[in-house]
Structure 1
């Protein structure tokens, strides 16, 4: 095996590093000759955004980690047998609808909170009655259906999700009331 001089070995190491530091292709350079003014403006905006982010489009394409938005999820369950309907399919659809409403309630509890009313009666240093009631009230908008899953032969599970932006919007709207 031939021995390479040190300068060739050094160039083999340094050139890829320098290429990574060079600016990548710009969107305005890739525009076709017949591009309209709106397309050219979009390309300029993309290049400006890439400069602000401290990256170029060519280099960063494989290196950007996409972080999903945090989600608030709600789960609901409902049995098919207890639903109104003339046929089994009608009862199944009603069970899915009931599970969806329960999942909405779960989301509302997480976004708006749960109001608890509790009353305990103590007689002769003994708790003789303990009552707790919970209530939730609020509006949920923008919930996305994640999945509908049959559970066993007679029930359904529904999962809904809200992203952080939707939760922020709901909370702001509730504060304005």
Structure 2
């Protein structure tokens, strides 16, 4: 009987995966925004603006993961010394079907966690019209 239990135990252990399996069709992103830095007359208004800004930040992170990020950099040297340096980044893309998993305050920050099923996004992409985003926009945060 003892050998039978050992055999069953060894068989069950052998059936377990050695590495954790992960669905690569789902990507996640986290967005952050400061509550006190938001414009507003009351703390409730600032908190609502921070909630919206953190959601937009999470969308931006999802867009970076899917479409990449465009980096423009410039450095100016004079006599082998760095005088002037600028870096600019932008991201452009359409995200459809993302879901907010959690949204909560931590200290003075608001955090939004999102996930996106890439298969769902692909299905939704063919069913709606995509409009281009205007070049000149004001950033909320």
- Give the Cα separation in 2 of the matches to 1:92 and 1:168: 33
1:164 corresponds to which residue?
118
- Indicate how the Cα distance of structure 1 residues 171 and 110 shifts in structure 2: closer, same or farther if over 3 A, else same: farther
Q: What is residue 132 of structure 1 aligned with on the other side?
A: 87
The 5 A counterparts of 1:147-158 are: 147-152=102-107, 154-158=108-112
Query: How many positions carry a matched residue from both structures?
Result: 109
Structural mapping, 1:1-80, within 5 Å: 69-70=23-24, 71-80=26-35
- Structure 1's unaligned 5+ residue stretches are 1-66
CA contact (8 A) 1:78 1:98 kept: yes
Coordinate RMSD, CA, aligned: 2.9
Q: Which has the higher strand share?
A: 2
> What TM-score comes out, normalization by structure 1 length?
0.53
TM-score (norm 2): 0.65
Q: Distance in 1 between matches of 2:48 and 2:97?
A: 21
Higher helix share: 1
In structure 2, stretches of 5+ residues that fail to align are 1-20, 133-141
Larger RCO, structures 1/2 (Cα 8 Å, 6+ apart):
2
**Which structure's CA Rg is the greater one?**
1
Correspondence for 2:43: 88
